[in-house]
Amino acid sequence: MRPDDRETQRVRSPIRSRAVRLAILLVAVVPMAACDTIADLNPFDKQEAYKPEIVPTVPAETLYNEGLAYMQKDDYESASKRFASLDRQYPFSTWAKKALILQTYSNYTARQYDDAIANGRRFLALNPASPDAAYAAYMVAMSYYNQIPDVTRDQERAEKALVALQEVVQRWPNSEYAPDARFKLNVVKDQLAGKEMAVGRFYLQKRNYTASINRFRNVVSQYQTTNQIEEALARLAEAYLALGIVNEAQTAGAVLGHNFPDSEWYKSTYTLLQSKGLEPRENQGSWISKAFKSVGLG
């Protein structure tokens, strides 16, 4: 209960108590001759007696078929509501298990991604060994994936998509969803690397070389297979050179030239080093060299 709700309840309670006391007093002081007015004062007259509404129980199969019918009409919001109703009324039935995976699908198709994520994760928690588990995990991952914003904005959804897609690939490597999950993993990694590069360029432009190196280092350490790696190495050489850390600048240039000899970024980096009387030269003890060797590059 929110604090304001507690305050409201604390204020209303005395009001209600006061009304009850007034009603008792009225009954006590009104003479017997005035009994015919009691009914007028009583809000609970017998003529207005509470009549409970009896809602007929809808069979699970009926709810399930109604949900399917809505899906056939592309009315996924209504389908989701039917499946949710089935899940509530028959939570431990076989129908509920089927309904939950279809509810996840309906949420996803209706672009109710947060609901799809919640229901998909719930299905995985309840049915980890189900043949539909890979499908549920894939829909969770795709729900995050479809919410990835452009590279200039916060990438929390991209990071969650990365984790969810990795789960599909690692837990169900032979499933029909694994190939697409692998492809989209590369897309997400490129997105995250692009974000690091954008921030790194900003710091480099501001001549905050240490901050820019940290961003480019993230790309080299975590996203070597993305399209951003060539520029990241070139920017590292530029930033290290600006700080006078010659060995690391030469190593960045050497690793760039070894792995991407035809890259325009390598050509510009080679020219930059030459302008300072230097040339690409790899230091095997550099973190740059070790990062590339750890993934079989270099």
Query: Given pLDDT bands bounded at 50, 70 and 90, which one contains residue 298?
Result: low
On the question of pLDDT at 44 being above 60, the answer is: no
Alpha-carbon distances of 82 from 90, 96, 145, rounded to whole Å? 12, 11, 26
- pLDDT tens-digit series, residues 77-96: 999 999 999 999 999 899 99
On the question of pLDDT at 74 being above 70, the answer is: yes
C-alpha span between 187 and 227 (Å, rounded): 10
* pLDDT at res. 293: 77
Highest mean pLDDT among 6-10, 13-17, 270-274: 270-274
Query: Given pLDDT bands bounded at 50, 70 and 90, which one contains residue 151?
Result: confident
Alpha-carbon distances of 7 from 4, 51, 241, rounded to whole Å? 5, 32, 63
Task: Let me know if domain 60-189 sits in CATH 1.25.40.10.
Answer: yes
The total number of residues shown for the chain amounts to 298
* pLDDT at res. 29: 36
| Percent of the chain clearing pLDDT 90 (strictly above) | 75
Q: What is the 3-state secondary structure (H, E, C) of 241-273?
A: HHHCCHHHHHHHHHHHHHHCCCCHHHHHHHHHH
On the question of pLDDT at 37 being above 90, the answer is: no
- pLDDT tens-digit series, residues 229-259: 999 999 999 999 999 999 999 999 999 999 9
* pLDDT at res. 152: 84
Report yes or no: 189 and 173 within 8 Å, Cβ to Cβ: no
On the question of pLDDT at 174 being above 50, the answer is: yes
Mean pLDDT of the chain: 85
- pLDDT tens-digit series, residues 94-129: 999 999 999 999 999 999 999 999 999 999 999 999
On the question of pLDDT at 172 being above 90, the answer is: yes
Q: Could you check whether 60-189 and 195-293 share the same CATH topology?
A: yes
Instruction: Give 23 or 195, the one with higher predicted confidence.
Output: 195
* Topology adopted by domain 195-293: 1.25.40
| Dihedral-angle region of residue 207 (phi above 0 means left; psi in -120 to 50 means alpha; beta otherwise) | left
On the question of pLDDT at 34 being above 60, the answer is: no
C-alpha span between 144 and 184 (Å, rounded): 11
Which of 17-31, 104-118, 227-241, 279-293 has the weakest average pLDDT?
17-31
The structure tokens listed for 44 are 């609970």
On the question of pLDDT at 38 being above 90, the answer is: no
Q: Where are the domains of the chain?
A: 60-189, 195-293
